[in-house]
Amino acid sequence: MAKDLRLPPYPRGWYCVGFSDDFPRGSVTTKRLIGKELVLFRTEGGALSAVDPVCPHLGAHFGHGGTVTQETLRCPFHGFLFGTDGACVATGYGTKPPRVAARTWPIAEQNGIVLVWADPRGGPPSFQVPKLDMGDFSPFKRAVYRFRGHPQDTTENSVDIGHLTVVHGYERPRMLSELVVDGASLHATYEFHRPVGLWGRGLGGVTADFDAHVHGLGYSFVEARIGALGLTYRNFVLATPVGDMDLELRIAATVKRLEQSELRGPMKLVGLSKPLSKLVENLIHARGFQAFQNDVEQDFLIWKHKEYVARPALAAGDGPVMRYRRWAEQFYDDSPASAAVSAEP
Ligand code: FES
Ligand SMILES: [Fe+2]
């Protein structure tokens, strides 16, 4: 086996630092991303901004005692005010503010997810994560985990068809189309049978088809359709490198409103009555999230202890792992992986 090289710890990309309601108006929150701290503040008007924690005046940490004053962040040390663009707009003494700015991090808040652009070299965003139309979907159910891991490893699951049977117990997984790679995004579709259905084992499994959409290594979601019932879920997996091999993983799930869905089979009856449909929708959402959470947690044991094998010994049935890795190289400056990547078998 070839000597394996480590992946660089911080691929560039958009990473989730929380959900919108984690940052209420008037709040100041310190987060970690790519081994650094950043301070997020939400103004009274609702604008959200992320800045370096160190005040350019005399070095106080905004995250320890900083407050929001209308549309600005107020430093706890001398009361200087900073706008959402980082610019100093007032001193604490009513004197002319120095022409200085706190460094801001690019931020995008969409579909209730707060994303921050991270590039170890400080470059501007090289791609955007598209906004989704979520009007027909229920609010998220979500969870957050922290463990030893790397975003390239966790996101590789989207194309690792082989592990679906072994780790998750799915049956007959198969790719429905070729992997589509387009700049920083990647799209894969596959189908499988889940022997444990929505209502538990023994009550019939479900066949689902998956549309996996990946944008960089920190943001992906799967649109899962259960054709026989006419249900559609959207499951997000958001991997955030807070430190070197120190990962925060957020998951969020939503289900398409039943009245917007093309219900089939027994679900058709449910669609007839509005109160019943609401009740069943909540149940379906809860069960779907439980199944999703269970699937993700099944991966933990592997993720926490796995090593990056740059020259994997691949076999038929693996899925397009090497195509994924070649695509992922774009998020690094000098990837040792790129030298080691060999042709797909
Ligand atoms: S250190 Fe921030 S205002 Fe002085
Ligand atoms: Fe998995």
183-195 tens-digit pLDDT: 999 999 999 888 7
Angle at 7 between CA 4 and CA 10, to 5 degrees: 170
The top-level CATH class assigned to 13-118 is: mainly beta
Distance 25 CA to ligand 1 centre (A): 22
Number of alpha helices (DSSP H) and beta strands (DSSP E) in the chain: 6, 19
CATH number at 141-328: 3.90.380.10
pLDDT at 338: 43
**In this structure, which residue's CA is closest to atom 4 in ligand 1?**
78
Domain ranges of the chain: 13-118, 141-328
Mean pLDDT within 140-165:
95
Output the CA torsion 284→286→291→295 (10° steps).
140
Residue 159 CB partners (closer than 8 Å, separation 6+): 179, 186, 188, 212, 319, 320, 321, 323, 324
Taking the C-alpha atoms of residue 83 and residue 86, their distance in angstroms, rounded to an integer, is 5
Number of other CB atoms surrounding residue 94 within 10 Å: 7
Ligand nearest to the CA of 66: 1
* pLDDT recorded at residue 340: 44
Global confidence as pTM: 0.92
- Indicate the range of 47-56, 108-117, 290-299 predicted with least confidence: 290-299
Sequence-separated (6 or more) residues with CB below 8 Å from residue 334: 8
The mean per-residue pLDDT over the stretch 10-39 comes to 98
Distance 223 CA to ligand 2 centre (A): 15
CA distances 146 to 37, 251, 304, Å, are 17, 12, 10
How close is the Cα of 81 to the center of ligand 1, in Å?
Answer: 9
- Decide if pLDDT at 328 tops 80: yes
Q: Which atom of ligand 1 is nearest to the CA of 59?
A: 1
Could you give the CA distance from residue 124 to residue 271 in angstroms, rounded to a whole number?
Answer: 47
